[in-house]
Amino acid sequence: MLFLCGIPLLLMEFTVGQYTRLGPVHSLAKICPLFKGVGLATVVISYVLCTYYNVLMTWALYYLLHSFSSSLPWQSCNNTWNAVGNCSTGFPGNATHLKSASQQFFDHKVLEMTTGIESAGGIRWELFGLLVLAWTVVYFCIFKGVKSTGKVVYFTATFPYFILFALLINNVQLPGAKDGILFFLMPNWSKLLEVQVWVNAAAQIFNSIGISFGSMISMASYNKFNNNILRDTYIVCLANSATSIVAGFVIFSAIGYMAHIHNLPVDDIATDGPGLVFVVYPEVFSTMPVSQLWAPLFFIMLLCLGLDSQFAMVEVAVTFIVDGFGKKVLQVFKRKELIVLAVCSVGFLLGIPHITRGGIYVFQLMDHYTAVVSLMFLAFFEVLAITLIFGVRRLSVMLEQMLGKKPNLFFRVCWQFLSPMLVLGILISSIVQYTPARYGKSYTYPLWAEVVGWFISLFSIIWIPLGALHELWTTEGSLLQRLKKSITPTVDLESVSEKPSGESVALFAAAQTPA
C-alpha cells in the first residue's frame, strides 16, 4: 500500500498544491470543476478530525502532570477512584471481572466515564482547563503562519526521535522483550488472504501520511515553484514508515516485558486505540526502573507528535479561508492572527462534548465515522478527479514544468491504473465489510448513536454531490455541454500565481506523519 498508493498519491497531492499555489478547495476546483466539492470535503474532514484530536493532547497533558508525583497514581489499587473488589495491580489476563489499576485510572479518574453515550454526566472541569491549554499552545505555534510553524516543528518533529531511541535502548534490555519483538515481526501469512488486512494497511498509510485530508495540498501550496517535491515525497513516506517500524519495536518490546512479568501471552496484552497509549504503556512504566523519568518523557513525546498533526489539520482550514475569502474576512478580522484565533476557538467549542464524563463514547463514535468511513470515499473521488478526469498527461506536464523532467513510468502506471483500482477495491471492501462502532469489547452503541455517526460521516461526503450539482446548475448550455465544461480544467499550465513561500513541505509533512 505504501508503494502502490502512498508514494504515488502523495506526489500527486504535492504536485497539485505546489503548482496551483492554492489549498485543496480552490486547487481541485481548477483541476476538475465537477468535483470541486472534494476539496471542500477534505477541509471538513480535517477540521472535524482536529476538533477531537486535541482531546488526545488533553489526556496526554493530564498524564504528564500526574507523572511528576512521588509514585505514579496508576501504580496501585489503593486510591479513592479504584473499585478495590475488581482491581488488579497487573493485567488481569482471563479474569474478566478484574480491571488493571492503569485501566481504572483512565476510566474512573481521568474520564470519570459513565455507562454509555446516552449519559453525558456533565463536564470534567480539569479536562476542560487542559483542553483550553492545548488549543492555546496550538494557536501560539501557528498564528504567524507557516514560517513560524516551521520554526516550531524543528523541535517538535525531531525531539520525539531522541525519546523514541532512548526508550528503544531501555526496552530491549528488559526481560521478555525478545518475545514481544518476535510477536511483532513474525508474519501470519494466511492473513494476507483477508481483505480487512489490506483495508487496515491502506487506512494506516492514508492516515499517517495525510492523504485526502487536504493538509499535504495546503502545505505544498506554500512551496517555491521549483521545489523538489519528488525528493520530499520519498523523505516523507520513507521517514514515516521507518518511524512506524521503530515505534513498533519500542511498543512490542515493552508489551513482551509486561507479558513476562505477568506470565501472560503477548497477544493478551497487545491492544490498539487509546488503550495502548493511556492504559498499557502507563502500566509498563509503573514496573520499570526510574519510572518517574520515562513516564514524563513519553508523554512529552506524545504531545510533540500530536501538536505536529494539529498544526497541519488547522492550517488546512486557515488556508481555505484565506484563499477563498481573504479580503472579505480581513475586513472583519483585520489581521490573519485573528482568523487563526477564530478557527481555534470554534475547534475548542466543538471539542467540549468529548471532555464530558460520557465523552469517550462520543470520541470513539467520531473517530470511527470520520477517520474510517469517510476517508476512503474522499480518497476515491480525489483520485478520480485528478488522475482519471484531469488526466495523468496534464499532471505529468505540471510536474515537468516544476522539476524539468517527466514522472517516470512507475508513477504514471500507478496514477493511471494501480492506485485508482486499489482505492476503489478498498472502498467497496469497506462498505461490504462494514461493522458498527463499538467501545472496548462489550459496549455497543444504540441505534440513534449509529444514525448520528452516519450523519457525521455524511457531513463531509455530502459536499461532493453538492459541489457537482452547483457546477452543473451554474454552467450554461445543454446537459451534455454542461458536463463537458464541468470536467474541463481551468488551471493554466503556462502561468503560475504567486504565494508567499514558507519552509519546505517535507518538514511539515514529516512532522505530521509520526503521530
Q: Report the alpha-carbon distance of residue 243 to residue 512 in Å, rounded.
A: 12
How open is the CA angle 90-125-52, to the nearest 5 degrees?
75
pLDDT (0 to 100) of residue 265: 87
> Is residue 509 in some structural domain?
no
Residue carrying the nine cell digits 452547483: 470
189 found inside a domain: no
Q: How far is CA 256 from CA 173, 180, 287, 509, in A?
A: 11, 4, 13, 32
Residues comprising the binding site for Na(+)?
208, 240, 305, 308-309
Q: Is residue 499 part of a domain?
A: no
185 is a domain residue: no
Task: Name the nearest CA neighbour of 508 among 304, 303, 220, 141.
Answer: 220
Amino acid at 220: A
Total count of domains within the chain? 1
Inside any domain, residue 500:
no
Measure the N-to-C terminal CA separation of the chain; round to a whole number of Å: 19
Per-residue pLDDT for the chain (515 aa), expressed as one digit of tens each? 999 999 999 999 999 999 999 889 889 989 989 898 999 999 999 999 999 999 999 999 999 999 988 888 888 888 888 887 788 776 665 555 678 888 889 999 999 999 999 998 899 999 999 999 999 999 998 887 777 777 788 888 889 999 999 999 999 999 999 999 999 999 999 999 888 888 888 888 988 898 988 889 988 998 999 999 999 999 999 999 999 999 999 999 988 998 888 888 888 776 666 777 888 888 888 888 788 888 899 999 999 988 888 988 898 888 888 877 777 887 787 788 888 999 999 999 999 999 999 999 999 999 888 876 788 888 899 999 999 889 999 999 999 999 999 999 999 999 999 999 999 988 888 888 888 888 887 889 999 999 999 998 899 899 999 999 998 898 887 777 777 777 677 776 665 555 555 544 444 444 454 33
- Kindly report the pTM of this predicted structure: 0.87
Q: What single DSSP character describes residue 276?
A: I
What residue numbers does the annotated binding site cover?
Answer: 208, 240, 305, 308-309
- Which CA distances in Å does 437 have to 142, 212, 375, 442, 496? 34, 22, 15, 11, 45
The answer to whether residue 277 is domain-embedded is yes
Let me know if residue 137 belongs to a domain: yes
Identify the pLDDT of residue 507: 43
The residues, ordered by sequence, that sit 6+ positions from 474 with a Cβ below 8 Å of its Cβ are none
The cell for 345 is 476557538
Please give the residue range of the domain that contains residue 30. Answer: 5-90+97-173+196-487
Residue 205 lies in a domain: yes
Q: Taking the alpha carbons of 101, 105, 106, 108 in that order, is the dihedral positive or negative?
A: positive
- Long-range contact list for 263-270, CB < 8 A, 24+ apart? 264/91, 264/93, 266/179, 266/180, 266/183, 267/183, 268/91, 268/93, 268/94, 269/91, 270/183
Given this model, what pLDDT does residue 1 score? 93
Residues 513 and 239 sit within 8 Å (Cβ to Cβ): yes
CA dist., res. 257 & res. 320, Å (int): 47
d(C-alpha 331, C-alpha 432), whole Å: 49
